[in-house]
């Protein structure tokens, strides 16, 4: 029998045999009927791994009739073109496919009304749950009331909602974030250890005032204050991370200061790579003349020249956890030890990834 034929013929009994459990246990796990029975998390994981290995797929029509589920989730992303979102979506898609779910993707970029429309398109009778990536429904500073109203409606429509890289627990749903303050601190501490004291901050003007953006800005201010480093508004620059020439123009006043910065922290890697190219085209060598640190550790960060030192968000772990939490909720898997009303925010720790874009400042080099 061919491999494809084996995959198509795999049934519940095959999964049960591979997992070492009864077919009824496999049926309960794969159909989300875990209430009233004692099945350990290890057994649940073993059954799912066996189903994935055998490429077992339940009959969607039969299961849909039994459970009134669509076997589909919706993902609404703030910016589908951003590398962080693209990498996260790939992980979510793979995780959902492994458990027999389809994914519908939309974007609410720049228009809150689009978010409302998407909540209708991705209605509860079309998808079983929703993952929100980024500040999907908040695009204008000061519009928090509109955001809360839209989010409340979304949660009313969908029983199961998970957010990633957004303000935590805005409406009681599970939120998955990275510790932004810790990440910025890691970046700036690295630069200070290298001898930098005049550190600029660059943010992306293409998407200003997102929750993560504001978190990282505040962490920059707090670090300067706690380390007795002078704050200079001339060292804060906003650039369009998707327009190289505009970035060069925005950098010109910063690089032309009487006392220019010796290092720059950039709010995200996509913008940092644009800044890196703009600096090089302006005759500024990285890291000889200027050190550069980003945030995210997207795939392109390692491919830039020089390689970008950055703060790594564990994108794979965050995306896998988001999909797992959502699908477990849809399938009726209860989270153990979570008390009613407990904070549902899951915070992932960032790490510093050292590459070639950082070095001691020019004066320090001459001293050595």
Task: Look at the chain and count its residues.
Answer: 368
Quick: pLDDT tens for 339-365: 544 568 899 999 999 999 999 998 754
Higher pLDDT, 150 or 84: 84
pLDDT on residue 62: 46
The residue with greater pLDDT, 335 or 21, is 21
Average pLDDT score over residue span 136-152: 52
pLDDT band at 177 (very low <50, low <70, confident <90, very high): very high
CATH architecture of structural domain 180-313+352-367: 3-Layer(aba) Sandwich (3.40)
Given a cut of 50, whether residue 87 has pLDDT beyond it is yes
| Domain regions of the chain by residue span | 3-66, 69-172+315-348, 180-313+352-367
Task: Compare 350 and 366 and report the one with higher pLDDT.
Answer: 350
Q: Do domains 3-66 and 180-313+352-367 have the same CATH topology?
A: no
| Strands of the sheet with 351-353, listed across from one edge | 236-239, 199-204, 263-266, 291-296, 309-312, 351-353
- Measured from the Cβ of residue 208, the count of other Cβ atoms closer than 10 Å reads 14
Question: Could you tell me the pLDDT band of residue 113, with boundaries at 50, 70 and 90?
Answer: low
Q: Which CATH number fits domain 3-66: 3.30.1340.30, 1.10.10.10, 1.10.3110.10, 1.10.260.40?
A: 1.10.260.40
**C-alpha atoms less than 13 angstroms from C-alpha of 128 in its C-beta half-sphere:** 23
Radius of gyration of the chain (CA): 24
* pLDDT of 54 strictly over 80: yes
More confident residue, 192 or 155: 192
Strand order in the sheet with 102-107: 102-107, 72-77, 130-133, 161-164, 174-178, 345-348
| CA-to-CA dists, residue 305 to 276, 283, 352, 353, angstroms | 9, 15, 18, 15
Position 55 scores a pLDDT of 77
State pTM to two decimals: 0.75
Average pLDDT, the chain: 82
pLDDT band at 226 (very low <50, low <70, confident <90, very high): very high
Query: 323: which residues sit within 8 A by CB, 6+ positions away?
Result: 73, 91, 92, 95, 96, 99, 131
pLDDT of residue 289: 95
CB neighbour list of residue 71: distance below 8 Å, 6 or more residues apart: 60, 63, 64, 100, 101, 102, 128
**Topology of 69-172+315-348 in CATH?**
Rossmann fold (3.40.50)
Q: Judge whether residue 13 has pLDDT over 90.
A: no
């Amino acid at each position: 029998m061919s491999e494809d034929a084996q995959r198509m013929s795999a049934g519940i009994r095959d999964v049960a045999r591979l997992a070492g459990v009864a077919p009824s246990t496999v049926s309960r796990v794969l159909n989300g009927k875990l209430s009233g029975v004692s099945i350990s998390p290890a057994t649940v994981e073993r059954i799912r791994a066996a189903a994935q290995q055998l490429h077992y797929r339940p009959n969607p029509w039969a299961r849909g009739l039994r459970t009134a589920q669509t076997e589909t989730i919706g993902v609404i992303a703030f910016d589908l073109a951003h590398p962080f979102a693209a990498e996260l979506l790939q992980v979510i898609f793979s995780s959902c496919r492994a458990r027999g779910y389809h994914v519908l993707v939309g974007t609410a970029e720049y228009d809150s009304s689009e978010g409302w429309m998407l909540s209708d398109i991705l209605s509860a009778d079309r998808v079983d749950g929703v993952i929100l990536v980024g500040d999907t429904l908040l695009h204008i500073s000061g519009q928090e009331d509109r955001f809360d109203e839209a989010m409340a409606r979304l949660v009313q429509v969908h029983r199961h909602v998970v957010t990633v890289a957004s303000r935590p627990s805005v409406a009681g749903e599970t939120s998955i974030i990275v510790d932004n303050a810790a990440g910025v601190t890691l970046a700036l501490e690295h630069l200070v250890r290298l001898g930098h004291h005049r550190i600029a901050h660059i943010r992306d003007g293409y998407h200003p005032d997102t929750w993560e953006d504001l978190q990282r800005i505040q962490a920059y201010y707090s670090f300067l204050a706690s380390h007795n480093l002078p704050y200079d508004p001339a060292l804060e620059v906003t650039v369009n991370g998707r327009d190289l020439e505009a970035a060069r123009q925005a950098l010109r006043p910063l690089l032309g200061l009487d006392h220019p910065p010796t290092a720059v922290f950039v709010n995200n890697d996509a913008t940092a790579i644009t800044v890196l190219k703009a600096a090089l085209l302006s005759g500024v060598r990285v890291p000889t003349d200027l050190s550069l640190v980003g945030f995210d550790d997207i795939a392109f960060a390692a491919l830039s020249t020089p390689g970008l030192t950055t703060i790594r968000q564990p994108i794979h772990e965050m995306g896998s956890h988001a999909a797992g939490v959502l699908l477990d909720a849809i399938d009726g898997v209860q989270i153990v030890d979570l008390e009613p009303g407990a904070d549902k925010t899951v915070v992932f720790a960032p790490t510093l990834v050292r590459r070639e874009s950082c070095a001691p400042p020019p004066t320090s080099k001459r001293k050595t």
